[in-house]
Every structure is written in C-alpha cells, then in structure tokens.
Amino acid sequence: MEPLRSRNTTKLKVNMPQQIVKSEKNDFTEDEKKIIGELKQLYMDTINLDVKMQREIYNMEKLYEQKHNEIFDKRKKMLEEYKKQNHGDANSNDNVAHFWLKVLKASYTEFIGKEDEKILSYLCDIRTKHYNEDTVKFVIEFTFEKNDYFKNRVLTKTYILNCVPDKEDPLAYDGAEIVKCEGCHIDWKQSLEREKNDQPSFFDFFTPPVLPDDPEDPNFCDINAILQNDFELGFYLKERVIPKAVIFFTGEIADCQSTDASDTDTEDSEDDSDVEEEEESSNNENDK
C-alpha cells in the first residue's frame, strides 16, 4: 500500500533553531559588502514570504478542520456501533472493538505496556484541534470511554509553534518549528498504585519534561533530546496516524516499527551476521 518510511520524515522542523555563525575573517571589498547586504535583504524578503505562506497554510488547515471532523465523526460513530453490536466483549485486542489500541501499537514506537493496553482499550477517538490566532498551536485530544483507571474523558497534548524569525537574528530563520509542548493532568483513580510503578508507560506522553533555561544545565542535552523526539511524534500523530488510522490498523502501512518488529529485525541481523561469519570462516579454510 505505502512504502516503509522513517517516522521523522516531516514537513515541519522540530529541532532547535540554528544560529548564523558570523565569520571573523572579512576579505570583502566595499563594493562586495554593498552587494552582499543587498543580497541578504533579498534573502530576508524570501523569509518574510515564507512566513506569510506558512500563515496561509495554517489558516487553510483551520478552515478544513471542520470538514475533516465531519468525516472523523462518521468514523467514530461506525466504531461505536460496531462495539455495541458486539457488546464490547471481544476477547482479543487485535480487532475493531479495540481499534485505536491497535492503531497506536502499529504506529507508536515508544513503550506501551500490558497495563497501558488495558487502559487504551477504552480509547475511542483521537483528534487534533488547530489554533492560529495569537499563538499557532495544535492540540491532540485522546477521548476515552468511562473506565476504572482515571476520571478524565479527554487527555490532551498541546504543541506550540514558532512561525516568525527571531528579531535579533532573523536570517537564522529556517521555517516553522515546534518549540514547546504541554501535557495535561491525569486524575488517576488508583494513583497510589501507579506511583509505586516505575516502569515506563504510554501515559508518560502526557507529562513531558521541562527544558532548563540554562543550556549549561547538566540535564539540558538529555531533556532536549527527549523533547525533540516528543515534537516529532506529535507532528507524526497529527499528520499521518490520525488521518490514516484504518491502514495502520490493517497493517497496510508501516511508518515505524513496533517492538515486535524491532525484535525481529535484531534477530534477522544476528542471523545474517552468523551466516557472514560462517562464510568467512569457510573461505579462510579453503584458502589454507
């Protein structure tokens, strides 16, 4: 259906902005400096044009959000009716009754534990909302049926975008980028039990770490790497997983590898390595 693609193939930058390095060496003549200044102004004009274009793209996304939601409403209703007809008592997680659980397992490379699977079986919809007035951002909403795990009906993850050049270094602008994410409070019904469990969980997604203000902070690099991965994942969910959910469910698309797939790849690599070693050993013996 679709070729295997890396999850980080996105149209939106998710990395930290790069500063323009000013060279101390300057061998330009006065005439060259003049034309370089004019060329930089032209470059600035292209940046301003790109900013305007990005704003129009976000306005268009917002305009079509309602039309997308009309389609997603139909999808949600079909899944709800299927579950009612089957009394919601399916024994396997690999069926339409647990549609979104299987979609996430097929597309989400982070950790989904057995306890997470029980909770995610109550997940009935995932949507995004776009905001483009004061702050450009999108919010991913995870809607759950009433369950025994937490009181929330909707869990949210917000991604905030920067779409304008830095006033102090405008030439460093390299397109719109996600610069911050915010989770939400989960009102657990069994909070004490969860506090004792230090195992990684899918629901860690809703409590992203805060990046220190000081780049010299010893935790800065580690937290920044975690957040870059988080930004990438949020955009991936928005652009691919939500609209293409059914073909993730059927396995007709595989943008990223699940734990099982990774394990299989590792085993295959080990097998290939063993074969290569045997062939090399055999060739050495023949040479003798």
Q: Which of 273, 42, 21, 17 is nearest to 163 (CA)?
A: 17
Residue 13 has pLDDT above 50, yes or no: no
Residue 248: predicted pLDDT: 94
Q: Which residue's entry shows tokens 């059914």? A: 246
What pLDDT is stored for residue 282 in this prediction?
A: 54
pTM confidence score: 0.75
State the pLDDT confidence band at 11, using cuts at 50, 70 and 90: very low
Pairing of the two strands 177-182 and 123-132: unpaired
Per-residue model confidence as pLDDT tens digits over 128-175: 999 988 788 999 999 999 999 999 999 999 999 888 888 888 888 877
pLDDT above 90 covers what percent of the chain?
44
Share of the chain above pLDDT 70, in %: 73
Phi, psi of 124 (to 5 degrees): -115, -5
How far is the C-alpha of 104 from the C-alpha of 99, rounded, in Å? 9
Confidence of residue 16 (pLDDT cuts 50, 70, 90): very low
Return the H-helix or E-strand segment holding 126. Answer: strand 123-132
| Fold classified for 30-85+96-255 | Arylsulfatase, C-terminal domain (3.30.1120)
Residues 77-90: what's their mean pLDDT?
Answer: 79
pLDDT at 8 over 90: no
Sequence length of the chain is 288
159 - beta bridge partners? 138, 181
pLDDT, tens only, 162-217:
888 888 888 888 777 888 999 999 999 876 555 556 678 999 999 999 888 888 89
Average pLDDT score, the chain: 80
Residue 258's pLDDT band (boundaries 50, 70, 90)?
very low
| C-alpha triplet 251, 252, 257: angle, nearest 5° | 55
Q: Which residue has the higher pLDDT, 14 or 23?
A: 23
Q: Domain segments of the chain: what residues?
A: 30-85+96-255
